[in-house]
């Protein structure tokens, strides 16, 4: 009798563990940014692109069960260099921002630095790793506004006029809701 009770208890614990199963799902959030110098300050750039989390099927499919939203890494790739571009490199950063308004450093969350990043060659790519601060920011934005901005800013060595694709490789952890009871 003792053996059956132990076996039943172990099976129950195993099923309870499955009932609270969190599944991780990787997906990509892609945005295209037109990067142009400010005519009044031609050696500076600042561009912000709205990202609505509801645009991504992975988010909407599991909206009510998401336990985590992580930025694994982001890639910025030059996809077009327009004829007016005379800049060859940028030194700046890729950041995430809650609102469109220019923000003070505590409100911007830096994804990574763009140090002497070549912007005159199509295909130039930089990979920037995620971190727990970015993960917390993304989860907070998911639970509140549902939007944020990807911001590229910095200085250039000429006039910038190019297209940059930002691809954020992310993952969600969601409660699968498996229940065998």
Q: Which residue in 89, 95, 81, 83 sits closest to 155, CA to CA?
A: 89
pTM: 0.82
Distance CA 71, CA 73 (A): 6
∠ CA 47-97-160, nearest 5°, is 15
Neighbours of 157 (CB within 10 A): 15
Per-residue pLDDT of the chain (181 residues; tens, 9 = 90+): 565 655 565 555 544 444 458 889 999 999 999 999 988 999 999 999 999 999 999 999 998 899 999 999 999 999 999 999 999 999 999 999 998 776 555 588 999 999 999 999 999 999 999 999 999 999 999 999 999 999 999 999 999 999 999 999 999 999 877 554 4
Distances (CA, A) of 131 to 111, 126, 135: 8, 16, 6
User: Which of 2.60.120.220, 3.30.1300.10, 3.40.1190.20, 1.10.240.10 is the CATH number of 21-175?
Assistant: 2.60.120.220
Q: Yes or no: say if 94 and 166 are a contact pair by the CB < 8 Å rule.
A: yes
Distances (CA, A) of 159 to 117, 122, 131: 15, 16, 32
**Does residue 74 sit in helix, strand or coil?**
strand
Neighbours of 111 (CB within 10 A): 25
Distance CA 79, CA 1 (A): 70
Q: Where are the domains of the chain?
A: 21-175
Q: Yes or no: say if 120 and 87 are a contact pair by the CB < 8 Å rule.
A: yes
Distance CA 79, CA 58 (A): 26
Q: Yes or no: say if 87 and 157 are a contact pair by the CB < 8 Å rule.
A: yes
């Amino acid at each position: 009798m003792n053996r059956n009770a132990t076996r039943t208890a172990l099976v129950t614990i195993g099923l309870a563990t499955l009932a609270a199963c969190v599944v991780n799902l990787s997906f990509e959030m892609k945005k295209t940014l037109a990067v142009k110098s400010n005519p009044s300050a031609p050696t500076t750039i600042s561009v912000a692109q709205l990202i609505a989390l509801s645009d991504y099927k992975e988010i909407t499919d599991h909206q009510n069960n998401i336990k985590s939203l992580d930025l694994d890494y982001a890639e910025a790739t030059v996809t077009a260099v327009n004829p007016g571009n005379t800049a060859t490199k940028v030194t700046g950063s890729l950041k995430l921002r809650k609102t469109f308004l220019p923000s003070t450093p505590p409100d911007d969350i830096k994804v990574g630095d763009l140090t002497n990043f070549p912007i005159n060659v199509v295909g130039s790519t930089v990979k920037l790793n995620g971190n727990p601060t970015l993960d917390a920011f993304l989860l907070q934005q998911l639970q509140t506004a549902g939007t944020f901005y990807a911001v590229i800013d910095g200085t250039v060595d000429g006039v910038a006029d190019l297209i940059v694709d930002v691809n954020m490789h992310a993952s969600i952890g969601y409660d699968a809701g498996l229940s065998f009871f």
